[in-house]
Amino acid sequence: MTKRDTTLVGVLLEAFLVLLTAAAYTGTYIQRVNTTANTFKTSFTYLSVRSPCPRS
């Protein structure tokens, strides 16, 4: 195993780790956005149910 091979493997490993980290961050971000959206939806539904409907 020459120095060049070791460097190449190191670069590949580093790139792989960066990709994994980015994927993890993206997944967490999407999950957080979905949770926030669900919270807003639930609050909105709750308010709609609670308030008397003026259209009746």
Q: What is the per-residue pLDDT for 22?
A: 93
Q: What is the per-residue pLDDT for 1?
A: 58
pTM of the model: 0.49
- Distance from chain centroid for Cα 19: 14
Give me the torsion for CA of 3, 4, 9, 13, rounded to 10°.
100
Integer CA distances (angstroms), 35 to 9, 16, 30, 40, in order: 39, 28, 9, 9
Q: What is the per-residue pLDDT for 46?
A: 81
Successive 10-residue mean pLDDT values, the chain, 56 residues: 77 93 91 92 83 58
Q: Which two tokens stand for residue 41?
A: 């939806």
Cα Rg of the chain, angstroms: 24
Q: What is the per-residue pLDDT for 45?
A: 86
